Amino acid sequence: MAGIYIHIPFCKQACYYCNFHFSTLLSYKEKLVAAIAKELFLRKDSLAGETIDSIYFGGGTPSLLSEKEFYAIYEAILKNYDTSSLKEFTFEANPDDLSDTFLNWLKNTAVDRLSIGIQSFEDVHLKFMNRAHTAKEAYESVQKAKQIGINRISIDLIYGIPGMEMQTWESNLTNAFSLEIDHLSSYCLTLEPNTVFGKLAKKDKMILPLEENSSSQFERLQNLSEAAGFVQYEISNFGKPNAFAIHNTNYWNGASYLGVGPGAHSFFPGQRMWNISNNQHYMRSLEKDELPLETESLSLADQFNEYVMTGLRTMWGIDLAFIENNFGHDYSNQIRKDLEKHLASGKLIAKENKWVLSKEGKFFADGIASDAFVINP
């Protein structure tokens, strides 16, 4: 089983925290969609013999696609890949794009899961982050999608926003759960260097909340989501049982996925690829039937580090028997020594051959994983 990820590199406006690849110039959208369809054709052999169980349109903002553009990409997938066992088709959307007309045509496609970029139910925070929608649009987008019959809905929420009190964060979470969504992705605001917030921070014009405040909001997220019946199946992802995202789960479990579109990443066993993050260069390459991508072969140490880093973030943890069988005795021996102190402190819990982070350990996931990293010889 493998996945297909399509990156739609357009947005109405730049959110001040966003580090994804996108352009706000929409005039050549149709031409870029044709290039994506061409890339899907040129790379069809990369998943030959594989069946696709998950399609994910992300971005950027897929909800800026017209119906015609959506079908140009979807038909290129159907024509070139085996989707006979498709289990999930996720489409990312922003609330301000989800008009009745839009939802009506989307409902008649193969899309069965909507991921809505809400980020906050507070106008003051939406403005602060330069989001293009209001809190009212955020609520209504979820309600309308449900009314129209799209039942699998995930939303994104951000915590650690400067000035956001705990009470406001709790009310964001309560609002989310009252909308009867079945999945929530929630991230702490970070200051990436090439974003508006990152540049302001460099000039000391923006300061994030203290780490302990963000940690308290993360803890509240864990507790309230659990009380609402959600399972934290990955550090930043919470799903109702049976509503975990197949796309995300495949990624964390090391399944192959093909990423198409400018800036998209692909993964195949032992190999990582990434497309150029420049829309014009991307289109020019495809006009010449050339793939605008770079490839990196992953050493055994790279693959081990990736396995530990992604595995520890999930509720399934890392499997010592898998490490022994796939990476060898030296690796399994070493990780036992490297992570022993975290078992002793209770941040890691041993469940037979599996090691998973405890609730407390989830606050230190990156640090714990890096203690086990192996340096390339």
Candidates 58-66, 75-83, 256-264, 332-340 — which segment interacts with ligand SF4 by CB under 6 A?
58-66
Instruction: Give kind and range of the element (H or E) at residue 7.
Output: strand 2-8
Taking CB under 6 A as the rule, does residue 61 contact ligand SF4? yes
Residue 252: CB minimum distance to ligand SF4, A: 22
Name the one residue in this structure whose structure tokens are 């994030």: 208
Q: What does the alpha-carbon distance between residue 371 and residue 223 come to, in Å, rounded to a whole number?
A: 27
Task: Find all residues with CB under 8 Å of 36, minimum gap 6, and list them.
Answer: 6, 73, 76, 260, 261
Residues in the chain, total: 377
Residue 11: CB minimum distance to ligand SF4, A: 3
Q: What does the alpha-carbon distance between residue 228 and residue 233 come to, in Å, rounded to a whole number?
A: 14
Task: Give the one residue of 2, 39, 59, 88 binding ligand SF4; rule: CB under 6 A.
Answer: 59
**CA-based torsion, 294, 295, 298, 304: positive or negative:** positive
Taking CB under 6 A as the rule, does residue 14 contact ligand SF4? yes
Taking CB under 6 A as the rule, does residue 187 contact ligand SF4? no
Taking CB under 6 A as the rule, does residue 60 contact ligand SF4? yes
Residue 119: CB minimum distance to ligand SF4, A: 8
**CA-based torsion, 236, 116, 32, 55: positive or negative:** positive
CA distances from 202 to 38, 94, 159, 197, 206 (A): 41, 29, 21, 9, 8
Taking CB under 6 A as the rule, does residue 308 contact ligand SF4? no
Taking CB under 6 A as the rule, does residue 157 contact ligand SF4? no
- At 319, phi and psi to the nearest 5? -110, 115
Candidates 7-15, 80-88, 138-146, 162-170 — which segment interacts with ligand SF4 by CB under 6 A?
7-15
Task: Give the one residue of 1, 20, 216, 268 binding ligand SF4; rule: CB under 6 A.
Answer: 20
Q: What is the dihedral of CA 161, 146, 178, 140, to 10 degrees?
A: 50
Task: Find all residues with CB under 8 Å of 115, minimum gap 6, and list them.
Answer: 58, 90, 91, 92, 93, 153, 154, 155, 156, 183, 185
Nearer to ligand SF4, 62 or 209 (CB): 62
Taking CB under 6 A as the rule, does residue 15 contact ligand SF4? yes
Residue 156: CB minimum distance to ligand SF4, A: 9
Task: Give the one residue of 2, 7, 22, 218 binding ligand SF4; rule: CB under 6 A.
Answer: 22
Candidates 57-65, 80-88, 133-141, 259-267 — which segment interacts with ligand SF4 by CB under 6 A?
57-65
Nearer to ligand SF4, 20 or 364 (CB): 20
Q: What does the alpha-carbon distance between residue 270 and residue 97 come to, in Å, rounded to a whole number?
A: 39
The count of residues interacting with ligand SF4 (CB under 6 A) is 11
98-117 binders of ligand SF4 (CB under 6 A): 117
116-145 binders of ligand SF4 (CB under 6 A): 117
Nearer to ligand SF4, 59 or 239 (CB): 59
CA distances from 131 to 94, 126, 198, 210, 280 (A): 9, 5, 16, 24, 25
Taking CB under 6 A as the rule, does residue 268 contact ligand SF4? no
Task: Give the one residue of 11, 34, 224, 357 binding ligand SF4; rule: CB under 6 A.
Answer: 11
Residue 210: CB minimum distance to ligand SF4, A: 24
Candidates 15-23, 144-152, 189-197, 346-354 — which segment interacts with ligand SF4 by CB under 6 A?
15-23
Q: What does the alpha-carbon distance between residue 154 and residue 233 come to, in Å, rounded to a whole number?
A: 14
What is the Cα gyration radius of the chain?
21
Q: What is the dihedral of CA 214, 220, 222, 223, to 10 degrees?
A: 160
Taking CB under 6 A as the rule, does residue 305 contact ligand SF4? no
Nearer to ligand SF4, 11 or 335 (CB): 11
Residues forming contacts to ligand SF4 in the complex (CB under 6 A) are: 11, 14-15, 18, 20, 22, 59-61, 94, 117
